[in-house]
Amino acid sequence: MSHHHHEEFRLNSPEFDKLNRKLDRRQFLTKTSLGLGALAVGSLFGAEKLFGTTPKISENPSNFEEEILKALPHIAPKAKRVVYLFMSGGPSQFETFDYKPKLVDLAGENLPDSVRKGQRLTGMSANQSALPMVPSIYKFNQHGKSGTWISELMPHTAKVVDELCIIKSIHSEAINHDPAITFFQTGNQLPGRPSIGSWISYGLGSDNQNLPTFIVLVSKNGSKDQPLYARLWGNGFLPSKHQGVQFRSGKDPVLFLNNPEGYDGTDRKEMLEYLSKLNQIQNQAYGDPEVDARIAQYEMAYRMQTSVPEVMNTDDEPDEVFELYGPDSRDSGTYAANCILARKLLEKDVKFVQLYHQGWDNHGGLPKGIAHQCKNTDQATAALVMDLKRRGLLEDTLVIWGGEFGRTVYSQGKLTADDYGRDHHPRCFTMWMAGAGVKPGISYGETDDFSYNIVKDPVHVHDFQATLMHLMGVDHERLTYKYQGRRFRLTDVHGNVVKDILS
């Protein structure tokens, strides 16, 4: 008896028959209870209204929600894909986009109580006897048709200001890094919920079968002041195929993807087929949707063995591309190199690409620290916008830039003529969006003379998330997932689309 038949024989043995018979009753109950429920609901509402199409009641009970997903997109999407440039640590709005000339006359004076309004401080500056206000030591100039004020630290971004929609009135509840970044990524300060990219992947699926829908790149040249956790791009309670996949620089861009040394891969297909059979048996036995996810991931990994080396290879990019993105862009793993890689992934219709650049947490030595950060990111950020535009991709790609909160008007630590620090400030900070569906060349929202409180058009984190989803064709209130007896969504029970910035 050949090896092959022997394997078949084991899979079809009497033991398996017995196991299958045992499970029949349970399978019948789980499948029919959900199936009948769905049919009943369908007949109550008229299947077309509920599902957009006549539903086929699926074999797999977990697919009930997927039938509802077929109604997506809810609205005509403006954006097909997103690249989110996350400036981790909290960039100061004072040294970048929020120009506050009146502070010059108030330098060194204590923050007035009437401005602070009793707001809690972090443990880092709560013990300071004084909160001396400090203007930026960097100059601002006007740029673009709109005459937008931008810091001298961002000369390249200044050149693309007519493409940007700068939002100066973002605000958050979280005052410390981990809750704040988790809040931006998942809509909750506590870990465990699905990240934005996972929600997008779950709701909209993939436009490229050979690469993950959600890909994450972390700069190697960002200083590691605040750690990043893989759960920030995790799938939470959504099926695991929707988690973000981190691509790294170096010989193993995706961990555990390459074949082991000394293995030529000829029997790989056969091995996958047997693995698939075992998975199917387990699936029939337990009806666990994660088994499907596991099968899908093995298959994706197999395709990625070819697609990943190809997309990671930038050797065929012309010199002028590296010149556009700056000197770092030839050095794999830097922010600039990751921006080129992001453009390649977007060209291949990867739906959600997220770059993280750490090092913006300037509690002390801010002038030097932020100059360094801008030098590492400014040119490549602007290049990405220009590159997408000239390739005709900007019109259906949404580009986002921002961190998890802003910085305080008062100095943390000792204030000298050319040195100061700034503490965390969640009450107002600046982000920008560009591309698909947003008005170019505008500023939205205003802060007071101290960039401490918002005086016009506040945009909460949930409003930002709702707007991002809207641009992708998703009504944030309707994309839900039932978990532990309640329905969850990215924006929890909050969030309004910021209509005024939509083009």
The pLDDT of residue 473 is: 95
Instruction: List CB contacts of 154: < 8 A, sequence separation 6 or more.
Output: 96, 374, 378
CB atoms within 10 A of CB 175: 18
Predicted confidence at residue 159, as pLDDT, reads 98
CA distance 185 to 50: 30
Q: What is the mean pLDDT of residues 224-247?
A: 92
SS (H, E, C) 304-320: HHHHHHHHHCCCCCCHH
Residue among 253, 259, 353, 255 at smallest CA distance from 309: 253
pLDDT tens by residue, 185-196 = 999 999 999 999
Q: How much is the pLDDT for 255?
A: 84
Q: Is the model more confident about 53 or about 209?
A: 209
Per-residue pLDDT at 14: 62
Q: Is residue 294 scored above 70 in pLDDT?
A: yes
**Residue 129: pLDDT band by 50, 70, 90 thresholds?**
confident
In Å, how far are 87, 177, 470 from 96, measured between CA atoms? 12, 20, 28
Q: pTM, whole model, 2 decimals?
A: 0.85
Query: Which region among 89-93, 291-295, 314-318 has the lowest average model confidence (pLDDT)?
Result: 291-295
Least-confidence region, from 35-49, 67-81, 455-469: 35-49
pLDDT band for position 21 (cuts 50, 70, 90): low
pLDDT of 7: 46
140: β partners: 151
Kindly tell me if the per-residue pLDDT of 52 is higher than 50. no
Return the H-helix or E-strand segment holding 266.
Answer: none
Structure tokens of 240? Answer: 């695991």
User: Residue 446's closest CA among 425, 424, 429?
Assistant: 429
Q: Is the pLDDT of residue 2 over 90?
A: no
**Residue 26 burial (CB count, 10 A):** 12
pLDDT at 272 over 80: no
Give pLDDT, residue 334.
97
Q: What is the mean pLDDT of residues 168-174?
A: 97
**Whether residue 161 has pLDDT greater than 50:** yes
* pLDDT winner (highest mean) among 73-77, 274-278, 336-340: 336-340
| Cβ count near 40 (within 10 Å) | 10
Of 257, 250, 240, 269, the C-alpha closest to 307 is 257
Q: Grade residue 9 by pLDDT with cuts at 50, 70 and 90.
A: very low
Exposed/middle/buried for 258, CB within 10 Å: 0-12, 13-18, 19+? Answer: middle
Task: Give the model's confidence band at 47: pLDDT under 50 very low, under 70 low, under 90 confident, else very high.
Answer: very low
> Amino acid identity, residue 228?
L
Compute φ and ψ for 77, nearest 5 degrees: -70, 140
Map out the domains of the chain as residue ranges.
81-256+311-501
What average pLDDT does the structure give for the chain?
87
Above 90 in pLDDT, residue 408? yes
Asked if pLDDT for residue 395 goes beyond 50, the answer is yes
Q: Which residue has the higher pLDDT, 61 or 208?
A: 208
Q: What is the pLDDT of residue 31?
A: 52
Strands 481-483 and 486-488: antiparallel
Report pLDDT for 61.
44
Interval 55-104: pLDDT, tens:
343 444 455 566 667 778 899 999 999 999 999 999 999 999 999 999 99
Residue 284's pLDDT band (cuts 50, 70, 90)? confident
Select the CATH number that applies to the domain covering 81-256+311-501 from these four: 3.30.420.40, 3.40.718.10, 2.10.109.10, 3.40.720.10: 3.40.720.10
Token pair listed for 309 = 């080396």
> In the predicted model, what is the mean pLDDT of residues 297-308?
85
